[in-house]
Amino acid sequence: MLFDGQTIKIEELGDGLVELRFARGDEPVNKLDKLAFDELRRAIDILAAAPGIKGALITSGKDAFIVGADIFEFTALFKETREAISAFVAQNSAILTALGELPFPTVAEINGFALGGGFELALAADYRVMSTAAKIGVPEIHLGIFPGYGGTARLPRLIGLGAGADWIISGAQQTAETALRLEAVDAMATPDILRPIALAKLGQAVSGEADWRRRRLGLKSPLGHSKTEAAELLATAKSHAANALPHLPAAHLAVELLEEAAGLDRDAALALEAEAFGEAAKTQAAVSLVRIFINEQALKKTAKSYAKTALPVRKAAAVGAGVMGGGIAYQSALRGVPIIMKDIAESALDLGMAEARKLLARQVEQGRLAQDKADAVLASITPTLAYEGFDQVNVVIEAVVEILSVKKTVLRDIEALVGAQAVISSNTSSLRIGDLAESLNRPENFIGMHFFNPVPRMALVEVVRGPKTSEQAIATIVGYASAMGKTPIVVQDCPGFVVNRALTPYLIAFLQLVRDGADFAAIDRAMEGFGWPMGPAYLIDVIGMDISHHVVEIVSAGFPDRMQAPASSAIDVLLREKRLGQKNGRGFYTYSRDSKGRPRKEPDPETERLLAEAQPNGKRDIGEAEIVERMMLPLIFEAARCVEDGVVAAPGEADMCLILGLGLPRYLGGALAYADYLGLANVAARAKAWESFGAIYRPGASLRALAANGGAFYPA
C-alpha cells in the first residue's frame, strides 16, 4: 500500500495501475474537509514521485462517491475576511488541480452521489465513468455560494458555457443519462460492471487509444467565446438568477464570473473563481443558508435520539377528514403506514379520499410513482363513518373542528376504543394540549401533532409536549412524523405553540398597518419583495379568514399583555361580509380556477370600499422599508420569547419552525438569525420607534439583555 490515511488509501493494482480510494474510517460517507484535503495533498505528492505508475483509478469505499465539503467547517470560515476565504478555497482548488496534472492519466469511478466538491474532484480527473445509480451536481447555490474548487472553470469546458451555467444556477442533481449526453462523464455503467468499465477506460488512456494529454491541453484553454456570444449563452441563467433568485447574490455573482471568465484560460478562471467565491461567502444569504443547514442537521440528530425509544407505528388513524385529513392520510399511506380515515359525514370522507386521489394522480403524472403503486397506497386508506379497527392502531391523529368542547368529546371517545399503549395526538393549531387532556384517563399518551396545510408540501410538524405527556409518546410521534417524511420539532405547550404564536403579532402588525391607512396589496408587494412566498393578506386568504380570525383571537387571549388586534380590523370587516378567502373565492382578493383547477388570485375593487371602515383616518402611502420593519420586528420578538420561555430548546429550533411552517424567507436564516444580522442593539433601538403602536414592539428580557451586552442568538 503506497498510502494509508484516515480518509484516503492508495493501493497498487498491478501493471502500473494504482487505486486512489476515498474511504473515511467508520463514517458513512466521504467528505472533503481539512483532513481529507491534507491527506489528498500528501497522496498526490507520493503519486507524483513514485516510479512506474501508468494510471490511477479514483474510487470510493462508501456507497456514495464524495458528498461534498464539510459544511460545518464553513461556519467558522465565513466569519473570516473575504481575502482569507478566497485564499482558503484557492489552496484547496490547487490541490484538485495538482490531482488533474499527475504525470499519468486518471479516471474517476463515480459509484454514488458526487456532489459539490465531490463532483469538482471528479471533474479534475481526465475521465469519468458513472454508475446508472449515481447522481452528480453542484448544489452550492442552495447554500448561497457557488462551486469554489474549480467547478465554474472545469464544468463549462466539458458541457458548454450555457449548460454549465444552468447546472450551477439550478443546483440540481443530474442523472447518468443526462451527464453522458452532455459529456460531463465519458461512460456510464450499471453498478455491477462499473469497475471493469472504469478500468477499461483507464486502460484506453494508458495505451494511448484515448489521448488524455490532448484532452488536458484543450481543457486548459479559454472557451473561445466573444463577450457577445458569452452573454447570449448565459441569457437563460441570467434570467433565472434575476427572476427566481433575487435574494441569492451568489446566483448573480456566478453568472458574472462565468461571463468574465469565458475568455480566460483555465488557471486564470480558477483565480477569478476563488476571488468571487470570497465575495459570495460574505453575503447574508450564504451565512444564513449555512446556518439553516447546521440547524437541519441538529434537528435530524434530535429526531434520531428519540427514535431509540419510539414505539413502532404499523397502523394509524385520522379522525376528521376533508382536505386536511385527506392530506394526512395520503402522507401516512404514501410512506408505508396504513391509515383509517374517520368522519361523521360521508361528504367529508369523499372530500378526503378525493384529495388523496388527486395527490396520488399528481405523483403518477410526474413519474414519481407507478400506477399500481398509487393504487396500493390508496387501498391502504380506509374511509369510515364508524370507529371500526381503532383497537388495532398505534397512533390516532384527531383533526376535527377547532372547538375545545368538540375536541374533548371526540378525544374521550377515541381513548375508550384504542389500546392502552396507543398514542392519541391532536392536530390543533392553537388550543392548549393541557386543556384538551383534562378529561382523558391516560394524559401521558396524549400529545400535539400539528401539521401545516397543504400537508404534502409543508415539511414541519410541531410535536407538542403536554403537561403530562410521556417521553415515549413524544418519541413515538417524532418517529412517526419522521417516517412520514416530515421534520418534527418538539415544542412545549402554550397558546399557538411556535408558528401560530409568532404569526399572531405579525398579523396584528399587518392589521395595524391597514388601520393606519396602508393599502393591503402594497403591504403584500413589500413583503413578497422582501422574500416571503406570499404577503400577509394573501396568506390570510389561503389560511382562511375565519381560521385566521380564530387563531389571532385564541393566541391573543393567551398573551393579553402584548397581543391585541385593532378593533373592527380588516379581518373583522371582511369576515362579516362572509369573505372567507380561497375557500369561497372571496377574501382580500377574489379567486378563480386555472385550467388545472388551482386558485388564481385577482384584485377586487370591492375590497377597498369595504376596508374603508377599518381605516378611520383614510388611506395614506407607507414606504416599503417601514412596512417591512413594522411587520418583521413583532415576529422577531415573539420568536425570541419562545426561546426565552423554553417553548423550544434553542434559537435554531424557533428559526426552523418559522422557515418550515410559515415560509419565512430562507435567505434570512430565520427570524433570530436575521436579528443577529441586523444587530440586536440596532433591533432593540428600532423597536423604540414603534413602541407607541403597541406591546408587540416591546422586546423580551432576553433579547434586551443580549442587545445590552453585545450578544447574539448565534454567538461566534
**Model confidence over 166-181: pLDDT tens digits?**
999 999 999 999 999 9
Measured over the CA atoms of residue 99, residue 105, residue 111 and residue 114, the dihedral's sign is positive
Cβ pair 386, 413 in contact under 8 A: no
Q: Nearest CA to 59 among 121, 151, 4? A: 121
Q: Compute CA 535 distance to the chain's CA centroid, rounded to the nearest angstrom.
A: 20
Sequence-separated (6 or more) residues with CB below 8 Å from residue 405:
none
Residue 2 confidence (pLDDT): 94
Round to whole Å and give the CA distance between 63 and 361.
33
Residue 716 confidence (pLDDT): 76
Partners of 463 in the β-ladder? 449, 490
Q: What grid cell was written down for 507?
A: 398579523
Of the listed 240, 247, 450, 549, which one is catalytic?
450
Residue that the C-alpha cell 371526540 belongs to: 410
Domains and CATH numbers, the chain: 3-282 (3.90.226.10), 313-484 (3.40.50.720), 499-708 (1.10.1040.50)
Question: How many other C-beta atoms are found inside a 10 Å radius of the C-beta of residue 483?
Answer: 18
Residue 603 confidence (pLDDT): 95
pTM (2 d.p.): 0.91
Residue 597 confidence (pLDDT): 77
Q: For 379, which DSSP code?
A: H
Q: What grid cell was written down for 308?
A: 431509540
Q: Nearest CA to 588 among 619, 615, 567, 609? A: 609
DSSP letters spanning 292-342: HHHHHHHHHHHHHHHHTTPPP-S-EEEE--HHHHHHHHHHHHHTT--EEEE
Q: Which long-range contacts (CB under 8 A, 24 or more apart) does 333-338 make?
A: 333/377, 333/378, 333/380, 333/381, 334/360, 334/363, 334/377, 334/485, 335/483, 335/484, 335/485, 336/483, 337/313, 337/480, 337/483, 337/484, 338/314, 338/380, 338/381, 338/382
Round to whole Å and give the CA distance between 471 and 463.
12
Round to whole Å and give the CA distance between 544 and 580.
5
Round to whole Å and give the CA distance between 601 and 43.
60
Residue 224 confidence (pLDDT): 87
Annotation marks residue 450 as catalytic: yes
Per DSSP, the three-state class of 601 is strand
Q: Where are the alpha helices (DSSP H) in 418-560?
A: 433-436, 471-483, 499-515, 520-530, 536-543, 545-558
Query: E strands, 5-146, where?
Result: 8-14, 17-22, 55-60, 106-110, 114-115, 127-131, 136-137
Q: For 422, which DSSP code?
A: P
User: What are 317-332's pLDDT values in tens digits?
Assistant: 999 999 999 999 999 9
Cβ pair 511, 569 in contact under 8 A: yes
Burial state string for 111-131 with b = 16 or more CB within 10 A and e = fewer than 16: bbbbbbbbbbbbbbbbbbbbb
**What are φ and ψ of residue 477, in 5° steps?**
-70, -40
Supply angle C-alpha 559, 435, 649, rounded to 5: 60
Q: Where are the alpha helices (DSSP H) in 577-695?
A: 605-611, 624-644, 651-662, 671-678, 680-690
Average pLDDT, the chain: 96
Round to whole Å and give the CA distance between 515 and 527.
17
Round to whole Å and give the CA distance between 607 and 630.
23
Give me the average pLDDT of each 10-residue run along the chain (716 residues): 96 97 94 97 97 97 96 92 97 98 98 98 98 98 97 97 96 98 98 98 97 95 90 93 87 96 96 98 96 95 92 97 95 98 97 96 94 97 96 97 94 97 95 95 98 94 97 97 97 96 97 97 97 97 94 94 92 96 95 85 94 93 97 98 97 98 96 97 96 95 96 92
